[in-house]
Amino acid sequence: MYGNNPMRPQEDSDGQKLWVQEVFYTLQGEAIFAGQPAVFVRLGGCNLRCYWCDTDFESSTYNPSLDELVAHVESVRPAVCDLIVITGGEPLRQNINPFVTRLLEKGLRVQIETSGSLNLDLPEHPRLFFLCSPKTTKLHPGIAPRISAFKYVVALGETDPQDGLPVMSTQKRDMAARIARPVEGSRVYVMPRDDQDPERNRANMQECARIAMTFGYTLTLQTHKLLGIN
């Protein structure tokens, strides 16, 4: 959250109540399901503090029960949409197992946006997808084998010329840190970092395109920002 959020530990709860920042119907803007209608459930709190984080996840007092949250999702989800994206903050910080299980039982697809720094016992299911955007030098060993695809946030001048992936800390500006590399054989997306400056953003976008073409990664933009939607 713009680099000024408390770093909150993983919770040990029964998952029957969750701290939710917002629930909204939109188009998935990034990576594997980009362009697809999706209901986003943004959870509160994060265990990390990326100085360039573009999201508010600390300003909500909404703590719905499981039934209330599922009803809320269904109230904003048209029949044409079967994709639920759970993000945050860091969604694996809370026990989302009962919530994910309910969504899968409804026949929905569930995609989780995670930094890969925490693990959580979640069902093995063909309609459950983990998109990992690494922020730390190591991934949690429990989550690494579950990751469907990797999405690296890239800024010009902050990548390794050998593989085009980040070598600067996400937590402390101007500090070197070799961000965890993808699991062998995984799909890799590169996404330009939004530095809140049109010049720099353009440079990051062009660097992303160069890296994708050099190393065979897939470029993804933050399409929702181009569209001016949430």
Ligand X SMILES: Nc1nc2[nH]cc(C(=O)O)c2c(=O)[nH]1
Ligand Y SMILES: C[S@@+](CC[C@H](N)C(=O)[O-])C[C@H]1O[C@@H](n2cnc3c(N)ncnc32)[C@H](O)[C@@H]1O
Strands 187-192 and 218-219, how do they pair?
Answer: parallel
Q: How many beta carbons lie within 10 A of that of residue 57, not counting itself?
A: 23
SS3 letters across 145-180: HHCCEEEEEECCCCECCCCCCECECCCCCCCECCCC
Site residues for ligand SF4, 134-193, by CB under 6 A, read 135
Q: Which residues are registered as beta bridge partners of 192?
A: 154
| Contact between residue 34 and residue 21 where contact means Cβ atoms under 8 Å apart | no
Does position 93 bind ligand SF4 by CB under 6 A? no
In the region spanning residues 174 to 213, those forming contacts with ligand X, defined by CB under 6 A, are none
Q: Is 208 annotated as a binding-site member?
A: no
Residue closer to ligand X, measured from CB, 35 or 160? 35
Q: Which stretch binds ligand SF4 (CB under 6 A): 43-51, 122-130, 137-145, 189-197?
A: 43-51
Out of ligand X, ligand Y, ligand SF4, none, which partner does residue 28 contact, by CB within 5 to 8 A per kind? ligand X
Q: Are strands 83-87 and 37-43 parallel, antiparallel or unpaired?
A: parallel
Q: Which of 31, 46, 122, 128 binds ligand SF4 (CB under 6 A)?
A: 46
- Provide the 3-class DSSP secondary structure of residue 40: strand
Report the partner that residue 114 touches, choosing among ligand Y, ligand SF4, ligand X, none (CB closer than 5 to 8 A by kind): ligand Y
User: Which DSSP helix (H) or strand (E) runs through 215?
Assistant: helix 198-215
Using rule CB under 6 A, residue 53 touches ligand SF4 = yes
Among 87, 114, 159, 169, binds ligand X (CB under 6 A): 87
Q: Is 42 annotated as a binding residue?
A: yes
Q: What share of the chain is helix, strand, coil (3-state, %, to 5)?
A: 25, 25, 55
Residues of each annotated binding site for S-adenosyl-L-methionine:
52-54, 89, 133-135
Binding site for ligand SF4 (CB under 6 A): 46, 48-50, 53, 55, 88-90, 115, 135
Residues of each annotated binding site for Mg(2+):
55
Residues of each annotated binding site:
27-29, 42, 46, 50, 52-55, 87, 89, 133-135
